Structure 1
Amino acid sequence: MLDEAMGEVEETSADIVPASLNSRPDTELLAKIERARVQAALKRLPQNMREIVVLREFEELSYQEISEVVGVPVGTVMSRLSRARAQLKALLIDNEDGVRRNEM
């Protein structure tokens, strides 16, 4: 299920950018780069956190549904999701800072 969902991440992450902005080639390129950054950061998360992020953010399951799919209590889903979001944020910021340092 997670492999299918990760494949769908590529497809649904295109929906992050409004259609009106997709008409400009430069905006399309930036959106593609941003999707690649998010996918790379997701792959660096531990599997148990990545699974919960994908189920919540891309499959749009409720905490209760994720709890049933993964087989852990709702509180565990919530704490893993919180930690995963914090790690994703840190990974994306680190990646962005690294790119900026390399550009200088």
Structure 2
Amino acid sequence: MAMDMGHVIGAALCADAIFADWTARANILCLDNVEELATLLKFEPAKWFFFVVNPFVLPAKVTGRVRQGAFNYYDGPLPRYAGTHATPWALLA
């Protein structure tokens, strides 16, 4: 939807093969690890950062390169059941 509205997605940090396939089809740069993202952001700071149900821990050298803001979403009751599988953990508890 964002791309349909004219926004540019410069890169995606992918922990999931299905998401990585989507980035390839959408012609979005797919990064494999946090170090690749940190290197990219040295040369191209981001306006916005969207962090959606990812297992990565982002260091200050990444978060500090975001100019306007960040959006962080986890599908679960934080902080007790944080992470990729937050919903099943909460249900099991």
- Hey, which of these two has a bigger chunk of helix by percent? 1
TM-score, normalised via structure 2 length = 0.29
Larger-gyration structure (1/2) = 1
TM-score normalised per structure 1: 0.27
Higher relative contact order (CA 8 A, sep 6+): 1
